[in-house]
Amino acid sequence: MLSVAELVAASPVWLAPMEDVSDAPFRAVCRSVGADVCVTEFVNAEQLIAGAPPARRKITLAPGDRPTAIQIYGSDADHLLGAAKVAEAAAPAFIDINCGCWVPRVAGRGAGAGWLRAPDAMVEMARRIVATVALPVTVKTRIGWGPESHMPIVDLARRLEDAGVAALTIHCRTAQMGHNGAADWSWAAKARAAVQIPVIVNGDIRSGADAVRALAETGCAGVMIGRGAIDHPWIFREARALLAGGVASEPTDAERIAMYREIVTRNTAKRGEPFGVGMSRRHLRVLGHLAADIRPTLFAQATLTGTLAVLDEAAAHTGNLRTRNAAETFAVSR
């Protein structure tokens, strides 16, 4: 099994953990367009220890769903330790600890970014988990809790490295910012300069060009992409092409339709109808300019068959349009 440093060196563009988004179906979709390394949705430590079916499903990794890390969260170090042991048995690539979720129902209870209010306890919790499991342990966090003039992330990065953490992902906003304001990548650069372990920069990476710029500006080992992948999974393909010195190609209409088809088919296979069909609508923007025209008809469907029929009609229309445009161009050229 590759180390975290080897994983990020081989594939520096990762899919971020996103609750109710980065599940097995979406990981498969993103992996098909270049997201070689993925992280699960965060898994509640107490539920995982108790054997709750939803938590167990989240950590079940199919043979083709690798390398994938399992992310755990909780406010109690003992519970996180127990959850790490359970997660380790699922044989992920590594175990990630969520110390960055800002949502009040999570952080307000001391989990996620709530750990930033108690850095000493956070470091000791990480140290205990590293000492207990054989797999690499990583931490995903933010640059600080609130509006401090000096963010704690640089010192915290050093201390987490000393605790044995194998890599650190930094979302470059404070917990109190949530998703508001601009991510300040300079903090990832400062943390990266202070440690030897890989640092992965996260936040406001919306395009392949952003990924390249984030790596260039911070010197980080990798980038982690979250919300940017929901509307545009091809961001991984684009980033990898640019990093290799190539050109980032926009998806064709046919690719856009095929991508939505893949998303809705996988979601329905996992969740059934109509839920799988309905939840796929969050990815409408993968259809690009086609979305506005087919949205009313598409959203009227509650079944997979009906949804696929709408997509087939759109594909036929775009195919006919391309043929007609080609014929018109040929006629003009003559």
258 CB-near residues (< 8 Å, 6+ apart): none
What's the start-to-end Cα distance of the chain, in Å?
60
Using the structure block, give the residue that is written with the tokens 């990480």. 126
Partner residues linked to 171 by β-bridges: 142, 202
Q: What does 9-65 look like in DSSP terms, one character per residue? A: HH--EEEPP-TTTSSHHHHHHHHTTT--EEEEEEEEHHHHHHT-HHHHHHH---TTS
Q: Is the CB of residue 116 less than 8 Å from the CB of residue 152?
A: yes
Distance CA(220)–CA(195), nearest Å, equals 11
Torsion of CA 35, 37, 40, 46, to 10 degrees: -170
Residue ranges of the alpha helices (H) in the chain? 4-10, 24-31, 45-50, 53-59, 77-89, 104-107, 119-132, 153-162, 186-194, 208-218, 227-231, 235-243, 253-271, 275-279, 291-299, 304-333
> Kind of pairing, strands 13-15 and 222-225?
parallel
CA distances from 139 to 47, 53, 76 (A): 20, 25, 16
> What are the backbone dihedrals phi and psi of residue 24, each rounded to the nearest 5 degrees, phi first?
-60, -45
Give yes or no: 101 in active site.
yes
Q: Which of 30, 101, 172, 220 is catalytic?
A: 101
Q: Which residue in 149, 205, 142, 150 sits closest to 174, CA to CA?
A: 142
- Each residue of 163-193: b (16+ CB within 10 Å) or e? bebbbbbbbbbbbbbeeeeebbbebbbbbbe
Active site amino acids: 101
